[in-house]
Amino acid sequence: MRILVTGGAGFLGSHLCERLLGEGHEVICLDNFFTGRKINVAHLLSNPMFELMRHDVIDPFKVEVDQIYNLACPASPVHYQHNAIKTIKTSVMGAINCLGLAKRVGARIFQASTSEVYGDPEIHPQPETYKGSVNPIGPRACYDEGKRCAETLFFDYHRSNNVDIRVVRIFNTYGPRMLADDGRVVSNFVVQALKGEDITIYGDGSQTRSFCYVDDLIEGFVRLMNTEDITGPVNIGNPGEFTMLELAEKVLAQVGGPSKLTYRPLPQDDPLQRQPDITIAKDRLGWQPTVDLDAGLAKTIEYFRERV
Ligand code: NAD
Ligand code: UDP
């Protein structure tokens, strides 16, 4: 197949491009390089089945493809709040452009949605039926509401135009090729520990997240995309849930060094807890994570050790 990956030069996108090329597909990677980097896909450039396009998903584009994975959107709170209006445009206009293309060429289309659609959840763990608790006017809303609107667009194109959609809700994912200065917690803690700097805990560190290793996530993506008679949304994430203090302890246990914990204010609307209910992924995709946090952190630390 010929497959378009928007946001293909980013953290998740570059792993996805690699996986799809490995399966013998032709891959078009479209990216505006806001948080993605050419270096993430540099090793793919000599492959004749790979094509890199600098383009912004806000502007319409035409390519003949069989499948579309729409990943274009900054994912780290620091980056998506940097230009909030651009983030909303990327999610909403990007979805409209990708869905329009999918409709025209008859491609199956996959949306990288997020656990952020659940906001600061009152139900724990979060099943796909939970409608969420999002502050529509807070600093995270540009991302959360943008992604919620993109989901709406996907389901309206499906209902109105019979577009063949797959929607995944991704829970916090980490691994090699995260940006060192991305601001997300795993890369922050690992880079701080490797540099011997203090580990920045926001709030009292009792808030939780569930961390999925990138290879597990990409396996879930490919299974969802290639399963028939399913639209999603499907949660993909690792149900192993940790406080930020526990995460810091794990990173320090592996890296060692002189780093101490330092406390900073909790950002506004920072969700207090998050854990995926993955019953649907298990039942319909036969998917569950295989890499636990210690093993995934070891691979991530190895990646950053060579670069810090
Ligand atoms: P990332 O920031 O590394 O990748 C996003 C990519 O999209 C980058 O390459 C960036 O340059 C590109 N991009 C941004 N705006 C664009 C635009 N207007 N036009 C074209 N390209 C654009 O982040 P990631 O972690 O790889 O996330 C990929 C997708 O998965 C995002 O849609 C994100 O919302 C979603 N997601 C990720 C996580 C996670 O934990 N990693 C969790 C939930 C959802
Ligand atoms: N966090 C932290 N220290 C950091 C970066 C993040 O304690 O240096 C916390 C943050 O407040 C949040 C959690 O880690 O509670 C996960 O943050 P991240 O930005 O990785 O993702 P998200 O909030 O989108 O889940």
Q: Which ligand is nearest to the CA of 270?
A: 2
Q: Ligand 1 pocket, 114 CB below 6 A?
A: yes
Could you give the number of structural domains in the chain? 1
Q: What is the mean pLDDT of residues 91-114?
A: 98
Q: How confident is the model at residue 267 (pLDDT cuts 50, 70, 90)?
A: very high
Q: What is the pLDDT of residues 34-58, one digit of tens each?
A: 999 999 999 999 999 999 999 999 9
Residue 265 lies in a domain: no
Cα–Cα distance list, 190 to 39, 114, 128, 179, 296 (Å): 21, 23, 31, 11, 12
Q: Are strands 208-210 and 241-243 parallel, antiparallel or unpaired?
A: antiparallel
157 is a domain residue: yes
Which of the four pLDDT bands, split at 50, 70 and 90, describes residue 23? very high
| Residue ranges making up the domain that contains 77 | 2-174+213-239+276-290
Percent of the chain with pLDDT over 90: 99
The CA 10 to ligand 1 mean position distance, Å, reads: 6
pTM: predicted TM-score of the whole model, two decimal places: 0.98
Q: Is 143 among the residues known to form the active site?
A: yes
In the chain, the percentage of residues whose pLDDT exceeds 70 is: 100
Measured from the Cα of 186, ligand 2's closest atom is 20
Residue 152 has a pLDDT of: 98
Of ligand 2's listed atoms, the one at least distance from the Cα of 271 is 15
Distance CA 230, CA 295 (A): 31
Instruction: Return mean pLDDT, the chain.
Output: 97
Q: What is the pLDDT of residue 308?
A: 87
Q: pLDDT tens for residues 167-180?
A: 999 999 999 999 99
Q: Whose CA is nearest to atom 17 of ligand 2?
A: 185
Tell me: the pLDDT tens digits for 79-92?
999 999 999 999 99
CB of residue 185 inside a 6 A radius of ligand 1: no
| Closest approach atom of ligand 2 to CA 201 | 7
The catalytic residue among 143, 157, 174, 213 is 143
Q: Is residue 304 part of a domain?
A: no
Place of tokens 């499906």: 158
**Quick check: is 112 in a domain?**
yes
Residue 14 lies in a domain: yes
**CATH number, residue 104:** 3.40.50.720
Please say if the pLDDT value at position 266 is more than 90: yes
